[in-house]
Structure 1
Amino acid sequence: MDKTLYKQVKTQRGFTYSYYYSPPAAGQPTILLAHGFPSSSYLWRQQVAFFKPLGFGLVVPDFLGYGGTDKPTDPKLYIGSALAQDVMDILDAEGIARVIAVGFDRGSYMVARIVNHHPSRVAACAFLAVGYTAPDSAHKDAIAKPGLMPQLVGYDNFAYVRFFVQPDAAEIIEKNIDSFLNLAYPETSELWRETMCVDGGARAWVENNKRNPFPAYMKPELVEHERTALLTGGLTAPLCWYKVIFDDARAVDDAALPLEAHDVTQPLLFVACTRDPICVPVIWDTNHEKYAKGPVTRREIEGDHWVLESHAAEVSCILHEWVKGLD
């Protein structure tokens, strides 16, 4: 990522956001790329390298709590409407009317709330690994209901979240950062199934400073980049993206949306990761059947969660073919 193309803007809420921006060539659309946990805009470097020479505009923020962006530690500041407005402030600063919004992991939640609150600013939306998640005013969100997922996928695939929202989670992770990174980027998806998807498993792994080999795509320089970024900014703010799930402020915020705003009328792309034991595709397929009212394109990648690293070229090609078909 070219550091000279990073900019900053102060949002209406008073937060300073850092974001990468490359303007579009004449006639080309602008793509918004939304990262998830525990990443930053750097996650999209390979897609930026693919799309920039083709003339696509690119907006790639460090979202609240990450990278060069401010890092408040109150989960209430991470409600969907507020985060979506922050992104609108970035787009307005650059004079961008509409984007093709692409999300990965918790970035998919970001894209979903932009679609809900500002549908006129989204020409189309793509969801990688994690699909569209509708507003959840009654706290029926699958992550917040630990008994729900075993009925759908056969096991407690979101068990790790109950560690992430504990008061001491950030301290434990920062103390044993290498163990956490081993868990976050597992050599095989079986490790997630045995730890992240078992009640208490993620906490036990990190707290006991367990280690495991990294996958081939996690080169030493990438591991060091992730370690440095997380220790520099700390984990307290990034974990707010999970804590807000359980906060009443989120329910109130979601309840303010009319039911018709829950539907997605824009073209939707879902890229399913067939070996992801946490973000199991059937969860999002179910959501898309219910809420997607426009054309839906579904593609599969034979990989685990981190396809932006392990299958970067395939992801870029899938996105490119879909975007070309939107004309």
Structure 2
Amino acid sequence: MDGLREKHLDTRRGLHYRYYASPTSNPSKPALLLLHGWPDSALLWQYVVPHLTSLNLTLIIPDLLGYGGTSKPLSPALYDYRLLSADLVEILDAESVETVIPIGHDFGCWLVFKFQTLQPFRCAAAVHIGIAYMPPKPVMPDLETLNAMMEQQLGYPRYSYFHLFTSPDAPAHFSQQMESVWHVMHGEGKDWIKHIFCTPNAMREFLEAGRTDVPLRSYAQNAKLKDEWKEQRPSPEDWEASFCWYNAFALGIQAEADASIPVEDYRLGIPVLAILCTEDGVNPPETLEGPKQAGLLPDLKEERLGCGHWCTYEMPGELSRMIEGFSSDGVGEEYLQREADFDEVAATRRLYARGSKNLLNGVRRQWYRFCQRTRKDPVSELRLFTTQILSLFFHFLLEQRRGTLRHASTLQTYWNTLCLVRKEETGLYVVEPHVKDAMVGVRQQLAYESKLESEKQAKPIVRAEDESAAATPVSTGLLREKDALWKNTEKLSSFLGKADKFDALFYVGGHGLMFDLAIDKDSQQLIKEFYEAGKIVSAVCHGPIVFADVKVSDGSYLVKDQQMTGFANEEEDQAGLSKVLPFLLETKVKDNGAKFTKTEPWGAHVVKGGKNEKMITGQNPASAAPIGEALVAALGA
């Protein structure tokens, strides 16, 4: 393809990929990753590329597995979309591309769905061409049941062609009758695609008869285009490889992969452009209504093309204009700015508001970038987690953020987050004590050398929940008029031994407590002193995690046999953070003997427990006002 360089890559799993790439145009902008479908190759995009070059964005166009100049293995298990997505990541890393707008057609569009789900931190937006979004299906019905469902929904068995594509004799039929296949794909007529793909046995009978009597669409009469297409798959083995994408469905391989996706990740939070073709009976525009109504595409733009399925050939100019308008309309700017501003108040506000996942993914990106630069395998190094490589990584982080990183406490945040990245990538969370101790020294030395502000100098960060709460008069008073209360903070250790000077000890919520105060020895000692002195100890939302590991003087857990509440497991699931936390609050306190109670997710719930009902806990943000009222009553104020 003119203007693009042909490149080759051998992946870690031993497969060879051919892909085309344009020179890096604007590294600060997302690249366009174009993915073809069945039975095509990167050449599917040859009429679109000349239009997209005007965007001044990097283009990356691979031959997907089983096609063109890429390996063509005949085992459907190798087409597990988790593996295919990992292959794409290797291509992006080889091109030093951090963020992309994946653009897919046909099965390539389906792969875009999966790539968005598995690699959300690599996607600034996405373009779906020719197929409406399909959320994961952990249980895939057999073909007969699926087509019966389609007949009930659409009036015809939409996936009839799957029977032929997954049959043992399909490769021979397609390789021997390629002229007929070309007519199957590109026959003229508004309802041709619907008839030949969705009528039981219609395609098989057409190929077995070697028919070519159906008029071709005008673009398909181009002999050069047809010959290029034929050259990509001359043998039955070439066709068998392309059908592995379908057999991976029929054999349940993709359903097994879907079962690994949390339900909360079915929703695609980034901007999506869906372009559907009005003369494509296999994928009619109305199939987009289901995911829209389910709220799975909250930032959706829709377009229609009056053509058949292969719109990249039939209407390349109009298709390209839709992509150009979407890609140049500021798509991905907020995402990229969030990465660039990975710092202090403004960045933390945005990151935390998105459920802390972006913070996790930001550190993950830095780790992968570091490993690429040092020629290390990122997952292997996460498993080893040696002081030497970790020290180099933190030096790398400081170099990347020179001039923007100001607080020593940010290094601790990076450490906690990197440990969570390790947990997601390897399943390992516990860090060897000698490594943990050594990294404390590394962070302290780096903070000293870089002249970062100490904890005593640092001002608290106003996070998203603080600012949204500031809409109420009470919160506004605290944040704006009484800022001395929360700006002039002191270390918890300074209050040890002083329980007699106070009436109550109260912990606010936030996910941060799950990583620091939950295991902080000073905090645990302070709670013990207040509790045993008969003072009120109280917490709301994630705050009650601070009580979980506190032991009283007889050696038992403070929470043992005590009534309490806190952020429930269901709420954590709905927040989308269960998989990244070191533990869940509800599970943790139950394990230590607490009598945990809760109301429906996000409903207000306050519990009085402990000695003389002096341990007062609230379940979630909705419980903030009720627990305040309970504290006032308990204090007799």
2: distance between equivalents of 1:67 and 1:126? Answer: 23
Out of 318, 321, 336, the residue aligned to residue 317 of structure 1 is: 321
Alpha-carbon deviations, 1:227-270, whole Å to 9, x = none? 12121672010011111111122222111111122211110110
Larger RCO, structure (CA 8 Å, separation 6 or more)? 1
Query: Following TM superposition, where does structure 1 have runs of at least 4 consecutive aligned residues deviating by more than 4 angstroms?
Result: 140-144
Name the structure 2 match of 1:182: 183
Task: State the 1:147 CA deviation.
Answer: 0.9
2: distance between equivalents of 1:53 and 1:24? Answer: 13
- 3-state DSSP class of the match of 1:321? helix
Name the structure 1 match of 2:276: 272
- 3-state DSSP class of the match of 2:132? coil
Residue 282 to residue 84, structure 1, CA distance change in 2 (3 Å) = same
Contact in 1 for aligned 2:191/2:280 (Cα 8 Å): no
- 3-state DSSP class of the match of 2:239? coil
Name the structure 1 match of 2:25: 25
Contact in 1 for aligned 2:142/2:250 (Cα 8 Å): no
Name the structure 2 match of 1:254: 258
Out of 287, 299, 313, the residue aligned to residue 283 of structure 1 is: 287
Name the structure 1 match of 2:94: 93
Name the structure 1 match of 2:226: 223
Task: State the 1:177 CA deviation.
Answer: 1.1
1: distance between equivalents of 2:99 and 2:145? Answer: 32
Task: State the 1:210 CA deviation.
Answer: 1.1
Name the structure 2 match of 1:245: 249
- 3-state DSSP class of the match of 1:72? coil
Name the structure 1 match of 2:311: 307
Which amino acid in structure 2 is aligned with residue 216 of structure 1? Answer: S
Name the structure 2 match of 1:298: 302
Alpha-carbon deviations, 1:195-221, whole Å to 9, x = none? 221111111111111112321101111
- 3-state DSSP class of the match of 2:242? coil
1: distance between equivalents of 2:319 and 2:208? Answer: 34
- 3-state DSSP class of the match of 1:46? coil
Contact in 1 for aligned 2:9/2:16 (Cα 8 Å): yes
Contact in 2 for aligned 1:23/1:30 (Cα 8 Å): no
Deviates more, 1:187-196 or 1:135-144: 135-144
Q: Which has the larger share of helix? A: 2
Q: Any unmatched runs of 5+ in structure 2?
A: 334-637
Contact in 2 for aligned 1:79/1:249 (Cα 8 Å): yes
User: TM-score, normalization: structure 1?
Assistant: 0.95
Contact in 1 for aligned 2:191/2:279 (Cα 8 Å): no
Task: State the 1:32 CA deviation.
Answer: 0.4
- 3-state DSSP class of the match of 2:294? helix
Contact in 1 for aligned 2:272/2:297 (Cα 8 Å): no
Name the structure 1 match of 2:135: 134
Which amino acid in structure 1 is aligned with residue 224 of structure 2? Answer: E
Q: Alignment length, in residue pairs? A: 327
Task: State the 1:293 CA deviation.
Answer: 4.4
Which amino acid in structure 1 is aligned with residue 288 of structure 2? Answer: W
2: distance between equivalents of 1:280 and 1:314? Answer: 19
Name the structure 1 match of 2:208: 207
Task: State the 1:140 CA deviation.
Answer: 4.6
- 3-state DSSP class of the match of 1:148? helix
Alpha-carbon deviations, 1:151-208, whole Å to 9, x = none? 2211112211111110110111111111111101112233333322111111111111
Residue 144 to residue 321, structure 1, CA distance change in 2 (3 Å) = farther
Deviates more, 1:266-275 or 1:182-191: 182-191
2: distance between equivalents of 1:144 and 1:51? Answer: 41
Deviates more, 1:313-322 or 1:205-214: 205-214
Residue 32 to residue 2, structure 1, CA distance change in 2 (3 Å) = same
Name the structure 2 match of 1:6: 6
Task: State the 1:144 CA deviation.
Answer: 7.3
1: distance between equivalents of 2:297 and 2:184? Answer: 37
Residue 279 to residue 144, structure 1, CA distance change in 2 (3 Å) = farther
- 3-state DSSP class of the match of 1:145? helix
Contact in 1 for aligned 2:41/2:68 (Cα 8 Å): yes
Contact in 2 for aligned 1:19/1:62 (Cα 8 Å): yes
2: distance between equivalents of 1:278 and 1:220? Answer: 26
Name the structure 2 match of 1:62: 63
Which amino acid in structure 1 is aligned with residue 249 of structure 2? Answer: I
Which amino acid in structure 1 is aligned with residue 137 of structure 2? Answer: D
Contact in 1 for aligned 2:3/2:22 (Cα 8 Å): no
What percentage of residue pairs aligned between the two structures are identical?
28
Q: Which has the larger share of strand? A: 1
User: TM-score, normalization: structure 2?
Assistant: 0.50
Contact in 2 for aligned 1:143/1:161 (Cα 8 Å): no
Task: State the 1:289 CA deviation.
Answer: 3.2
Alpha-carbon deviations, 1:99-126, whole Å to 9, x = none? 0011111111110110111111111011
Task: Choose 1 or 2 for highest CA Rg.
Answer: 2
Residue 152 to residue 66, structure 1, CA distance change in 2 (3 Å) = same
Which amino acid in structure 2 is aligned with residue 321 of structure 1? Answer: G
2: distance between equivalents of 1:146 and 1:161? Answer: 10
2: distance between equivalents of 1:22 and 1:159? Answer: 39
Residue 272 to residue 143, structure 1, CA distance change in 2 (3 Å) = farther
Name the structure 1 match of 2:85: 84
Which amino acid in structure 1 is aligned with residue 225 of structure 2? Answer: L
Residue 291 to residue 170, structure 1, CA distance change in 2 (3 Å) = farther
2: distance between equivalents of 1:201 and 1:3? Answer: 41
